[in-house]
Amino acid sequence: MLYAIISEDVENSLPKRLAARPAHLERLQLLRDQGRLMLAGPHPAIDSNEPGEAGFTGSLVIAEFDSLAEAESWANADPYIDAGVYAAVKVKPFKKVLP
């Protein structure tokens, strides 16, 4: 089943994001290589794909896991959590309808 992992950043998270980004992306690339990653990316803090120093307010990952517990376990092991980037993380079942 698909799950949406919706993360909210702490304020001024950009320096922490940049430091932990390689490890964060490595985990996402593993999901992609396994064919389980549908979508992943950050939420810019301003109306721009390149927000610069404004940074980001959170992230969204939609990926396939065997259960909600597995998705939560994967989300809770994100390097962004250890680095103090995320203030909160929600994991919810997701049903793809379109496209």
The CATH number of residue 50's host domain is 3.30.70.1060
Residue of 6, 5, 63 whose CA lies nearest to 33: 63
Q: Is residue 99 in some structural domain?
A: no
Digit-coded pLDDT (tens) for 28-59: 999 999 999 999 999 999 999 999 999 999 99
What is this structure's pTM? 0.95
Number of domains in the chain: 1
Strands (E), 1-99: 2-9, 37-44, 56-64, 86-94
User: What are the tens digits of pLDDT across the range 68-81?
Assistant: 999 999 999 999 99
Which residues share a beta bridge with 9? 86
pLDDT recorded at residue 19: 98
Inside any domain, residue 71: yes
Question: Which tokens belong to 15?
Answer: 């320096």
pLDDT for 92: 98
